[in-house]
């Protein structure tokens, strides 16, 4: 009788196990999205972030090509991605170094608004949303714990004496302290797409990732001449992609950066989303590789050309890997680490996890001209003059009617070298 019971149990286990394996086999794998589909999500959720940008500023600068807030015309545009919504509030994930402490501290810099700092966030429909009173008054290095206000910073950017936390804005170098992540909030009654968050732990070495953002055109070399592009009359959103080449554990001593990839990003794309192949945000882009040539052909201090094989990956590890990876590859933050910071400070935000819905993808889909050429180059830009995008709002015509062209713009407030210098995208 016992033998019969055991045999029956074994048969039942085998039967149930067979059903389970059959179900697994019949469950289709999630199909990777095409470049056009990824771009549709990126197009709808990527924003441009710029200090003192207002809807009226476009016409003012078209007339005199001068920043009314400051004679020098210093601007520090960056990128971000909409990741959450509560009522009419939209939360944008970006990097902390898009908000420069010495600008936040200077009342003269914001004199037209009574010394209160403000930024403009440009959404994909071309609208500019003004974000007032951005200063969180935590200084740099940051003091106290963050609060869920207009700007939440987990790190900061200022000019420091190398190897110290001493701020010296006249002779110091631009550096970041803390974790290079931030959330900035804007209000709107418009209905904007919110990007879903993915799981960076499921992104493996040699998986493809996509980075979206608004690069500064003058910060790149012309591939034909090798010279700085100088005055380019249009700002274009870029979708770049590459393969993941390294992953390390996120840590404050590395500014939080932990995902490393090959890419065609550029200055101005900092804070832009890093998408996985299913169109979910797994990171926030922020650092260019040290081997990237700066405008003018020089290398960032401490950089070196990457002569190693693409198969020479550093897939995981400790702090010893960071410098090696930073020299070779661009890098982004890990959204899981970002969420752990939110939990640490009891910030309650709800994120979307589901795959992008077909109707959302369809809403922003557009034909990409010369896709085969774009696929081999690892990037595609969207210029209305080439009729790549049906939506003319996805390009800012003649950025030099919006942003003053000065020598300081060309150097873009970048680090001036030294042992702690990094290449901020």
Which one-letter DSSP state was computed for residue 253? G
Task: List C-alpha distances in Å: 116 to 50, 130, 204, 244.
Answer: 15, 12, 44, 41
**What is the per-residue pLDDT for 204?**
95
163 part of a folded domain: yes
Number of residues that make up the chain: 425
Distance CA 202, CA 190 (A): 33
Low-confidence ranges of the chain (pLDDT < 50): 1-9, 11-16, 19-28, 58-67, 72, 74, 296-319, 383-393, 399-420
Distance CA 295, CA 195 (A): 32
Chain mean position to CA 43? 13
**What is the per-residue pLDDT for 233?**
54
1 part of a folded domain: no
Distance CA 290, CA 424 (A): 10
Q: What is the pTM of this model?
A: 0.79
Q: Quick check: bond before 111 cis, omega within 30? A: no
Report the first-to-last Cα separation within the chain, whole angstroms: 74
**Which parts of 96-209 fold into alpha helices (H)?**
101-105
What is the number of domains present in the chain? 1
417 part of a folded domain: no
Task: At 131, list the tokens.
Answer: 């974000």
**What is the per-residue pLDDT for 131?**
94
16 part of a folded domain: no
Domain that holds residue 108: 35-411
Contact by Cβ (8 Å): 135, 118: no
28 part of a folded domain: no
pLDDT (tens digit per residue) in 260-287: 998 778 877 999 999 999 999 999 999 8
**What is the per-residue pLDDT for 368?**
72
Distance CA 219, CA 208 (A): 25
15 part of a folded domain: no
Q: Where are the beta strands (DSSP E) in 267-362?
A: 273-275, 281-287, 330-334
402 part of a folded domain: yes
Q: Give, in degrees to the nearest 5, the angle at Cα 395 between 394 and 397.
A: 150
259 part of a folded domain: yes
- Which CATH number does the domain housing residue 240 bear? 2.40.10.120
Phi, psi of 190 (to 5 degrees): -70, 155
**What is the per-residue pLDDT for 302?**
28
Which helix (H) or strand (E) segment holds residue 57: the answer is helix 57-64
């Amino acid at each position: 009788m016992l033998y019969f019971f055991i045999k029956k149990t074994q048969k039942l286990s085998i039967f149930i196990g067979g059903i389970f394996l059959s179900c697994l086999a019949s469950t289709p794998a999630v199909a990777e999205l095409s470049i056009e589909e990824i771009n549709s999500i990126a197009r709808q959720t990527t924003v441009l972030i710029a200090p003192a940008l207002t809807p009226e500023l476009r016409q003012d600068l078209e007339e005199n090509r001068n920043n009314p807030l400051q004679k020098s015309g210093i601007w520090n545009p960056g990128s971000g991605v909409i990741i959450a919504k509560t009522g009419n509030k939209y939360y944008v994930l970006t990097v902390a170094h898009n908000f420069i402490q010495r600008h936040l501290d200077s009342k003269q810099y914001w004199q037209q608004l009574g010394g209160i700092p403000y930024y403009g966030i440009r959404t994909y429909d071309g609208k500019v949303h003004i974000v007032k009173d951005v200063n969180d008054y935590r200084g740099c290095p940051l003091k106290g714990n963050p609060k869920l206000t207009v700007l939440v910073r987990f790190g900061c950017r200022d000019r420091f004496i190398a190897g110290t936390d001493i701020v010296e804005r006249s002779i110091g170098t631009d550096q970041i302290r803390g974790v290079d992540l931030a959330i900035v909030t804007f209000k709107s009654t418009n209905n904007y797409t919110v990007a879903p968050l993915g799981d960076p732990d499921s992104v493996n070495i040699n998986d493809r990732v996509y980075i979206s953002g608004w690069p500064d055109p003058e910060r790149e070399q012309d591939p034909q001449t090798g010279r700085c592009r100088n005055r380019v009359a249009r700002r274009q959103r870029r979708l770049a992609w590459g393969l993941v080449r390294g992953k390390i554990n996120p840590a404050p001593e590395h500014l939080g950066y932990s995902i490393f990839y090959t890419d065609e990003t550029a200055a101005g794309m900092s804070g832009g989303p890093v998408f996985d192949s299913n169109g979910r945000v797994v990171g926030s882009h922020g650092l260019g590789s040290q081997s990237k040539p700066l405008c003018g052909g020089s290398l960032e201090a401490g950089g070196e050309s990457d002569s190693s094989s693409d198969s020479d990956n550093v897939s995981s590890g400790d702090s010893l890997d960071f410098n090696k990876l930073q020299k070779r590859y661009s890098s982004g933050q890990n959204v899981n680490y970002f969420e752990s910071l939110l939990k640490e400070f009891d910030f309650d935000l709800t994120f979307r996890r589901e795959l992008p819905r077909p109707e959302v993808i369809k809403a922003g889909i557009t034909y990409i001209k010369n896709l085969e050429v774009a696929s081999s180059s690892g990037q595609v830009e969207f210029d209305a003059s080439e009729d790549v995008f049906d939506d003319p709002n996805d390009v800012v015509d003649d950025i030099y009617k919006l942003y003053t062209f000065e020598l300081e713009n060309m150097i873009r407030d970048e680090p001036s070298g030294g042992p702690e210098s990094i290449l901020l995208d």
